[in-house]
Amino acid sequence: MSEYKRFDEKVWASFGKKLLPKDKGSERCLEEQRKFLAACQSGKDDFLKYLEHKGLLDNAVGDDTVHFTYQFTEKEFIYPPDDTQKKIWEAFEILPDEITCKCGFWAYVIIEMVKSGQIRPFFLASELNGADNTGSYMIDNALKSSDASKIDSCVRRILRSMCNPEPRGKRIVFNDFHLGKAYWRWQWADKMSSIMKRDLILKVLNEKYYAEFSARMHTGKTYIGSENIFGGLLLFLEKNRKIGSPKLQQIIERIKYLSVWKAIEAQTPKLNQKEIQEIADSLG
């Protein structure tokens, strides 16, 4: 396996941990968080100097790099539309899953994007749910606040946007991190395209259903990661678009028992679709 450029996972996790210490709200903690936010607000040069001062930029490992040259607007970075998501996937599809599921890899990608001007550092703090929720506004609002929780929340948002695992754990790659979410949505659709047309899979893996899948995929105890089970779920949801997330959660929990005593991972996706439909009908 090629050694693609990435940050050491322990070093990257430690960086986030130092910004979110157990004594959050203490003067020492707030001072460091404010420094981080100010560097992010100030611009590329100050942001990179901050990271360099923390010894992060010298901790990249690996030799091969993937050149991703797409220029993002702030809104596009936070909520990439399908055509942008496709560009993200196409840029990294040659990489093995062992690389693209690592936080340190995506962190390196983000910092390289900052260096090249593809994104501006304050994008990392953006919410853009409204006109005032730009990254610059969110940072400025936090820096002017004496509320420790508001400052901490802004720092956490930036770390999530950089794919740091400290706020949510390593599975942040698949849902809370913008580029990773876009990449893995397309990656799963591509892998399952022999079962269903990719455009249909992408419609199934919309915001409502994607979160349910991403919370359960790529874990040591996953039981829907099998292509046959996942394929059955996709076929089922394509026919049942109006099903709510709570009921989907119940269905997935029932699938766990089927995978144990009936070995449905060995069945075809089409047969599993029928099994899943029976589960759904039994739930009412």
79-90 pLDDT, tens digit each: 999 899 999 999
Is residue 1 scored above 50 in pLDDT?
no
What pLDDT, on a 0 to 100 scale, did the predictor assign at position 243?
81
Amino acid at 131: A
Report which of residues 131 and 192 the model is more confident about.
192
Residue 104: pLDDT band by 50, 70, 90 thresholds? Answer: very high
Is residue 25 scored above 80 in pLDDT?
no
What pLDDT, on a 0 to 100 scale, did the predictor assign at position 130?
61
Most confident region among 119-123, 205-209, 239-243, 263-267 by mean pLDDT: 119-123
195, 234 contact by CB (below 8 A): yes
Sequence spans of domains, the chain: 6-179, 195-283
What pLDDT, on a 0 to 100 scale, did the predictor assign at position 63?
77
Report which of residues 149 and 215 the model is more confident about.
149
Average pLDDT rounded to a whole number, residues 26-50: 94
Is residue 225 scored above 70 in pLDDT?
no
Task: Provide the residue count of the chain.
Answer: 284
Report which of residues 273 and 245 the model is more confident about.
273
Report the relative pairing of strands 60-61 and 6-7 from DSSP bridges.
antiparallel
Q: What mean pLDDT is reported for the chain?
A: 86
Residue 148: pLDDT band by 50, 70, 90 thresholds? Answer: very high
Average pLDDT rounded to a whole number, residues 101-129: 93
Instruction: Please tell me the distance from the alpha carbon of residue 212 to that of residue 141, in angstroms, as a whole number.
Output: 32
> Above pLDDT 90, what percent of the chain?
45
- The interaxial angle of helices 103-116 and 178-191, nearest 10 deg, is 120
201, 192 contact by CB (below 8 A): yes
What pLDDT, on a 0 to 100 scale, did the predictor assign at position 259?
65
